[in-house]
Amino acid sequence: MRKFVFALTALSLLAGSAPSLAAPCKDKHGKFVKCPAKPKLCRNAKGHFAKCK
pLDDT tens per residue across all 53 residues of the chain: 887 776 767 766 655 544 444 567 888 898 998 888 877 889 999 999 988 87
How far out from the chain centre does Cα 15 lie? 15
| pLDDT for res 8 | 65
Which domain range does residue 25 map to? Answer: 2-50
Quote the number of domains for the chain: 1
Taking alpha carbons only, the member of 42, 24, 20, 23 closest to residue 34 is 24
Query: From CA 22, how far away is CA 53, in angstroms rounded?
Result: 30
Query: From CA 17, how far away is CA 15, in angstroms rounded?
Result: 6
